Structure 1
Amino acid sequence: MRKILAACLLILLSFGTLKAQGEAYQFFNAKGKALSFKQVLEALEPADAVFFGELHNNSLGHWLQLQVLKGLHKQNPELVLGSEIFEREDQLNINEWFADQITESSFESEAKLWKNYSTDYRPILRYAKENNLSFIASNVPRKYASLVSKRGLQALDSLYDDAKKSFAKLPVRVDMNLPGYLAMKEMMHGAPGNSDYMIMAQALKDATMAESLFAPLANGKKVYHINGAYHSKDGEGILWYLKQEFPDLKVVNIHTVLQDKLDKLEAGNSQAGEIILVLPKDSHETY
């Protein structure tokens, strides 16, 4: 009998180990407590704005973005969706497609699509269209960010008025001492180019994405924004600019990280967001 019980115990322990190894993802709060997907949605419900800081090329993370979108939409039918992957210049293309004034294929031929759009982002856009959600193309056109990276923010002053509609209102305030920007400068130490200008270009992106969300937030709409994790990490980037305009805004940031093991949140990943999404280091990448 003891041998039988021991064998059963060994099987149960082995099953538990295999189950742990087979987990695809795990959410945690900033204190390192594991959260179920249901608990994540409950934590997001009181927020005025929810940010999903993604790893651009991680397919599993994109699938989870869609699941969060569905959950938030169920909570709030008037949810407004926005994303870094589209520049302000693509807003008309998105509006026309959503209004069935152009076909999806026409939209995709006209818009500046990221190389993994069809696999990672198209399902999110289709869900928004099919459910009549407003979608905001929030990012600055890359040509203007590139200009700033070479010549600084002052280079924007001489642009045509129509061009200035494509980025945050001038002058753009930049706090060069924010930890994220300081870390960026440190990483660029010794690299070619002007590190201050590169930070200004990053700040222009952050400020433009934040400003793109001002109108719906001012009108009491709940916003769900998808962006690279660095743009919202540690409450900086986009979130810093949002807080300048809306000091009392309730924001929840989902920050994505990779770890070898999913059973425990590593200490270095604990403060990057209110909710931390941990994905396996060997999860699928689209590029």
Structure 2
Amino acid sequence: MNLHRPRWRFLCLLSAFVAALAALAASLGSSASVAACAAPGGWLQASGTGSERVPGNEVLARAAAAEIVLLGEQHDEEDHHRWQAQVLAGLHGLRPNLVIGFEMFPRRVQPALDRWIAGELSVAALLAQTAWEENWNFPIDLYLPLFEFARINRIPMLALNVDARLTRAIGDKGWDAIPEREREGVGRAAPASEAYRDFLFTIYREHAHGDGARSSSGFQYFVEAQQNWDRAMAEALAVRRVAGSSRQPPLIVGVMGSGHLRYGFGVAHQLRDLGVERVVTLLPLSPDADCREIRPGLADALFALPKKPSTPAPPPRLGVQLADADAGQGGVRVLAVTAGSLAERSGLAAGDRLLEVAGRPTATAGAVIAVVRAAPPGTWLPLRVKRGEASFEAVIRFPPAP
């Protein structure tokens, strides 16, 4: 682990971070909500004068006639996943020959997805064989309805992602420094537009920890890591489209973070470079989205979600990015610490290793996350931490319930 450049490992571990893209974009400009832009519970399209409602059957018919449909999400938003399930059901009714690709899975776990669709795996076995907790730091309950929908309808599931180690390595050293044999077959990405670079620089600058120059190699590597991620997913979708085109081509649907889709910058841009022209992008709009973000080109159509009833406070979060330690090291690595988080206030820093949590040795990042989520409000969680050659005790003090 390169302790001198942990920020790149954080910035490039975008599977746990892409949600910040949508959150940051929503914070730009005014604080007006979707309710002021369009009545919730329906589809709209952006126009030069704002937005206009469009019938849902028209949206789905156009999507079903495409080659590839891209569905966005903010990973931790339950209603985004409920909306995805609704769209998938509608598309399946119009075009039953369907394939669903998921950003959440690295392509090396494809055999497990095939076994799941064949009905050979329990949920527990699916999680174990796809190393869910290690690969995707979001609760399985958010995604399981989508996976069950695919299983009961025997719809093939496609693993779109690459291993996080490859993304981190590109973020550390740049794409050209990665040997071809280690690129998982992903080709060189089409160059990013200046608009996409502007968007990514906004994110990069927030997390660069003092190295936020647009001309820096660090920003270039960050862009290359994001582009490689976009390219990998685009290639996986395009390959499956070609593989199924001999008789009745399937409709390919990609489920991924909205940051990969907004304004056609990411995956859609790479698909066009691969010769796929009929791509439809659909995005959910959260109730607190910014009206000024609803501009032409944001997506082919957007669905305005209503506000949810009040719910209990979400499980506590440390505000860290974690990864399992390298073989023989022990503990769990801290890749990055969010400014102002519980972890930072407790003295944790990027490069630390968590040796014990609540008096028990740590085994995996997933196990640490589970302990944190189970911690009641107002309690303390002791940690044993190693930093360099020294170790020390730290205590996470969870705030009381509101």
* The two structures share one fold, judged by TM-score above 0.5: yes
1:42 equivalent among 61, 70, 95: 61
Task: Please state how far the C-alpha of 1:47 moved relative to its aligned partner.
Answer: 1.5
- Given the alignment, which residue of 75, 88, 93 partners 1:56? 75
Secondary structure of the structure 1 residue equivalent to 2:168? helix
Q: Which amino acid aligns with 1:39?
A: E
Residues 174/131 of structure 1: CA separation in 2 closer, same or farther (3 Å cut): same
Query: What's 1:250 paired with?
Result: 278
Q: 1:246 to 1:67 in 2, by over 3 A?
A: same
Which of 115, 118, 123 is matched with 2:145 structurally? 123
1:145 to 167, 179, 184: 167
CA distance in 2, matches of 1:82, 1:286: 28
> What is the identity, as a one-letter code, of the residue corresponding to 2:176?
Q
Kindly tell me the number of residue pairs found equivalent between the two proteins. Answer: 257
What does the per-residue CA deviation read over 1:149-175, in whole Å, with 9 as the maximum and x for residues that have no partner?
0110023216xx3x443x513xx1342
- What do the CA deviations read for 1:99-136 (whole angstroms, capped 9, x no partner)? 23443321212213234343211111111111111111
- What do residues 38-59 of structure 1 show as CA deviations (whole Å, max 9, x unaligned)? 3332332222111111111111
Change (3 A) 1:25 1:88: same
Q: 1:168 to 1:27 in 2, by over 3 A?
A: same
What residue is the counterpart of 1:266 in the other structure? 291
Kept in 2, the 8 Å contact 1:79–1:134? The answer is: yes
| Range with bigger deviation, 122-131 or 277-286 | 277-286
Picking from 223, 232, 243, the partner of 1:208 is 232
Cα deviation for residue 73 of structure 1 reads: 0.8
| Bigger relative contact order, structure 1 or 2 (CA pairs below 8 A, ≥6 apart) | 1
Three-state SS of the structure 1 residue aligned to 2:255 is strand
Question: Are residues 1:236 and 2:265 paired?
Answer: yes
Structural mapping, 1:49-88, within 5 Å: 49-88=68-107
Does the residue aligned with 2:143 lie in a helix, a strand or coil? helix
CA distance in structure 2 between the partners assigned to 1:99 and 1:145 by the alignment: 31
1:267, 1:71 → 2: CA distance?
A: 29
| CA–CA separation in structure 2 for the residues paired with 1:103 and 1:59 | 23
| Match 1:217 to one of 241, 255, 273 | 241
Letter matched to residue 92 of structure 1:
P
**Structure 1 unpaired stretches of 5+:** 1-19
Give 3-state SS (helix, strand or coil) of 2:81's partner.
helix
State the identity %.
22
Cα RMSD for the two superposed structures: 2.6
C-alpha separation in 1, matches of 2:294 and 2:74: 14
Q: What is the match of residue 5 of structure 1?
A: none
Q: CA deviation at 1:278?
A: 2.5
Structure holding more helix per residue: 1
Cα separation, partners in 2 of 1:286 and 1:59, compared to 1, 3 Å: farther
1:278 aligns with 2:304: yes
Hey, what does 1:168 align to over in structure 2? Answer: 186
Check 1:105–1:254 CA distance in 2 against 1; reply closer, same or farther (3 A cut): same
Point out where structure 2 has 5 or more consecutive residues left out of the alignment.
1-34, 212-217, 316-402
Relative to the length of structure 2, the TM-score reads 0.58
Equivalent in 174, 182, 204 of residue 198 of structure 2:
182
Letter aligned with residue 115 of structure 2? E
- The alignment partner of 2:191 has SS state of coil
Please give the secondary structure, in 1, of the residue aligned with 2:302.
strand
